[in-house]
Amino acid sequence: MQLPEIPDKIPVKKRKILGPMARFLLNKHNWSIVGEIPNMKKMILIGAPHTAYRDAWFGLLAVLALDLKVNFFGAKWVFSRLPSPITFSRNLDRLGMPWPLGWLQKYMLVRLGGIPVLREENKGMIESTTDILKELDSFLLLLAPEGGIEHVEHFRSGFYYLAKNLNVPYVPVAIDYKNRQCKIHPFKIVSGSFEKDNQEIKYIFDGVEGHYRTFRA
């Protein structure tokens, strides 16, 4: 499997086991990574469509295969619980099903760059995240603009305001289940209007098939 070239300014993290394993799994499932990664030290990668946890799985494999050093947000329960069709709690931070190896699950996801998010208490998250990232010399932040696997009519604005506050570009990445590829699109700079940027990005993802549904602008 041929991979995109990694520019010299991109933060990387060589993983002796997970890197080769991710490349093997992508190749085994006939997935590819296409497009060019911008040569910038700081950027936000926005991935869509996010229709199932399996979409995020292949996105994560792509990150590991490219040896990228990234950060990503995830609902708190994702870090220690298993997905379950049965809801044990109405609390958005306690969904899923607890299991004995939840501690190991959390350890691995945090090691991969994961940042647990309290969905019940997300006030000021943009401001606090901005303060954290401003202190870093380089970062690749992964975000799902849909905010979850549920169908939404409009993207959430978090990626836009983070890019604006940090003065960094954002890069749309399509997780295309039909063609089995993660496609990296050219980077974009915030325009000053979330509504304008939101519509333009939705057209980029229009027609891309996720695991459970096709994205429509």
Q: Whose CA is closest to 95, among 119, 77, 117?
A: 77
3 domain-assigned? no
Q: How deeply is 156 buried, as exposed, middle or buried, from its count of CB atoms within 10 A (0-12, 13-18, 19+)?
A: middle
Which residue range is the domain that position 39 belongs to? Answer: 18-205
Task: Compute the CA torsion angle 185, 206, 182, 95 (nearest 10 deg).
Answer: 120
Rounded percentage of the chain residues whose pLDDT exceeds 70: 94
Task: Tell me what pLDDT residue 119 has.
Answer: 60
pTM over 0.75: yes
Average pLDDT, the chain: 87
210 domain-assigned? no
Question: HEC profile for 84-113?
Answer: CCCCCCCCCCCCCEECCCHHHHHHHHHHCC
Checking if the pLDDT of 25 tops 60, the result is: yes
Task: Tell me what pLDDT residue 129 has.
Answer: 80
213 domain-assigned? no
5 domain-assigned? no
82 domain-assigned? yes
Q: What CATH number corresponds to the domain at position 64?
A: 3.40.50
214 domain-assigned? no
150 domain-assigned? yes
Q: Whose CA is closest to 138, among 39, 59, 48?
A: 39
Checking if the pLDDT of 121 tops 70, the result is: no
Which of the residue ranges 3-12, 107-116, 207-216 has the most confident prediction, judged by mean pLDDT?
Answer: 3-12
Task: Tell me what pLDDT residue 217 has.
Answer: 75
Rounded percentage of the chain residues whose pLDDT exceeds 90: 51
166 domain-assigned? yes
Q: What average pLDDT score do residues 140-161 get?
A: 86
| Number of domain units in the chain | 1
Output 107 or 128, whichever has higher pLDDT: 107
Place of tokens 């994961």: 114
pLDDT, one tens digit per residue, over 81-119 is 887 777 666 676 677 888 899 899 888 888 888 877 766
